Amino acid sequence: MPDPSQKPVLVAAIAGAFGVKGEVRLKSFTDDPAACLKYAPFLDKDGKVILSLKGTRSIKGGFAAFTNEITTREQAEALKSTKLYAPRARFAAIDEDDFYQTDLLGLKVEDEGGNPLGQIKAVLNFGASDLLEIINTPGAPKSWTIPFTRDYVPVVDIEGGKVVLCDAAAFMSPDDKPDENEGEAV
């Protein structure tokens, strides 16, 4: 597993074109939406610079930006959904019990007995608290979520590449629960 301390941190995304002169609409993923702008120039997930800002302004739902790399509306539209990252070195050190969401993505998920439950696809927040979206649960046809609290996720081992869940079955719909007879001859 790559060293999490070297992975760039997702801070924003291009949400599409704004206007007709090559401005892009930026959607921020930082707690303070304007904070994402201070991490420019932005990188791709591999750490290569892909977007440098010339100027920005607040707009409803985000920011409009002129960049060195984009000069037409068509170029801006073509880059819609491009994720924008910042070097980890630009961020303050975090406490042991804190995590950047990007560090959780892709981690294996296990129950307390070490049985695989899938992997983390996303960290979601619809206003109340963070939820982990779990995919690839053996025998489950779709994703499911569990609150990202110490009660339900007592172990987060970034270096080990996994999280451990308690009471995960309570959050799975009957269709999501692994088939206990899976793999057994009937």
Assign residue 60 the CATH number of its domain: 2.40.30.60
Mapping DSSP onto H, E and C, the string for 117-141 reads: EEEEEEEEECCCCEEEEEECCCCCC
pLDDT at res. 160? 92
* Structural domain span for residue 74: 4-89
pLDDT at res. 101? 84
Half-sphere exposure of 155 (CA within 13 A, CB side): 17
pLDDT at res. 14? 96
Q: Are 30 and 76 in contact (CB under 8 A)?
A: no
Q: Are 109 and 163 in contact (CB under 8 A)?
A: yes
CATH number of the domain residue 105 falls in: 2.30.30.240
Q: Please check whether residue 113 lies inside any domain of the structure.
A: yes
Q: Please check whether residue 131 lies inside any domain of the structure.
A: yes
- Kindly state whether residues 10 and 62 are assigned to the same domain: yes
C-beta pairs of 108-113 under 8 Å, 24+ apart in sequence: 108/161, 108/162, 108/163, 109/134, 109/137, 109/162, 109/163, 109/164, 109/165, 109/168, 110/162, 110/163, 110/164, 110/165, 111/164, 111/165, 111/166, 111/168, 112/164, 112/165, 112/166
Rounded Cα distance, 53 and 40, in Å: 7
- Kindly state whether residues 30 and 54 are assigned to the same domain: yes
Model confidence pLDDT, tens digit, residues 105-122: 999 999 999 999 999 999
Q: Please check whether residue 176 lies inside any domain of the structure.
A: no
pLDDT at res. 184? 44
Q: What pTM was estimated for this model as a whole?
A: 0.69
pLDDT at res. 4? 55
pLDDT at res. 174? 59
User: Where a domain ends, among 34, 59, 89?
Assistant: 89
Residues present in the chain in total: 186
CB atoms within 10 A of CB 131: 19
User: Where a domain ends, among 40, 63, 89?
Assistant: 89
pLDDT at res. 162? 96
User: Where a domain ends, among 20, 55, 89?
Assistant: 89
pLDDT at res. 87? 92
Q: Which stretches of the chain drop beneath a pLDDT of 70?
A: 1-5, 173-186
